[in-house]
Structure 1
Amino acid sequence: MTAAEVDMKNLPGAHHVAEELSEAECWDLLGGQLVGRFAFLSGNRIEVFPVNYVVDDGIVYFRTASNGAIERAMPRDSASFQIDAFDPAHAAGWSVLVSGRAERILDPARLVELFRLPMEQPWAGGLRVAFIAVRPVTVTGRRVHMKI
């Protein structure tokens, strides 16, 4: 039996271990994904939207619809962007959370630069030309895995 075939969850003495990720590890993970979740408080409820994104110079950017729910809610002094991945077979995974200020980018020169960045087309339908920036105040992450 190979290590990949072992069900870690059922091994005697196996237990979950959570490890904090360094900020550098968090940024490495942020640079390797295509989709994350953007969240902010709207009234009495937390709104969460999946978005395609790009990281540039320590800031998370994504495109949304002009006058859509996200763009209408800008700016926000407190918003979050989250990515994660998991492996159910090995009871392992990781999560990264970027929290800070979110705002629409209005500077024409910066918009030209952002449109030139390699970025997945937004999966949501319709025209997505409003760029939102999430300017980090905190970047945290953790990895969970099984240990024998």
Structure 2
Amino acid sequence: MDDVVATLSDAECWQLLAGEELGRLVTRVGDVLDIFPVNYVIDRESVVFRTAEGSKLVELTVNDEVLFEVDHYTETMAWSVIVRGRAHRLASEEEVEAADELPLRPWLPTLKYQYVRVRAESMSGRRFRRGPEPDRYGIADY
């Protein structure tokens, strides 16, 4: 089993996150969980994305604790990284100007004026070796 599932270091997690563009933001307000696909960039070991006014920003104002998940797979391997952290809207002119310099462009042809940064409080990642399922029952004894 050791060669099938491997735990990733934080450095490996950041490296994998930096190589992707699409992740999932999970928010929670009371008993309600929501998940939003967002395109993002990594900046100084944090996740930055742009959004329009709406439910994401409202939910982050009520509860800034979030999960951010990214995964990837090929025929032979897969990986998943989960960032647990706090999200905040970039509000100061300095923060917004710095974010404007990041290589972050909306995927959809819509205006997105708000930047959000997720600062990691912890993270976990795993890499998986893919392959056929082993024989579940073994060889029958006759």
Q: TM-score, with normalisation over the residues of structure 1?
A: 0.80
Tell me the C-alpha RMSD between the 2 structures.
2.2
Q: Does 1:111 align with 2:96?
A: yes
Q: Which runs of 5+ in 2 are unaligned?
A: 135-142
Partner residue, 1:34 = 21
Distance 1:126 1:112, change over 3 A: same
Counting only pairs closer than 5 Å after superposition, residues 1-148 of structure 1 correspond to structure 2 as: 17-66=4-53, 68-75=54-61, 76-87=63-74, 89-90=75-76, 92-119=77-104, 121-146=105-130
C-alpha displacement of 1:142: 0.1
Query: Which of the two has greater strand per residue?
Result: 1
Q: Is the CA contact 1:94–1:141 (under 8 Å) kept in the aligned structure 2?
A: yes
- CA displacement 1:103-132 (0-9 Å, x = unmatched): 11111111001011112x222452111111
C-alpha displacement of 1:44: 2.1
Q: Which runs of 5+ in 1 are unaligned?
A: 1-13
What amino acid maps onto 2:56 in structure 1? I
C-alpha displacement of 1:55: 0.9
C-alpha displacement of 1:43: 3.4
Q: Is the CA contact 1:52–1:123 (under 8 Å) kept in the aligned structure 2?
A: yes
Q: In structure 1, how many angstroms separate the alpha carbons of the residues matched to 2:32 and 2:57?
A: 17
Q: TM-score, with normalisation over the residues of structure 2?
A: 0.83
The share of aligned pairs that are identical, in percent, is: 36
Q: In structure 2, how many angstroms separate the alpha carbons of the residues matched to 1:15 and 1:99?
A: 25
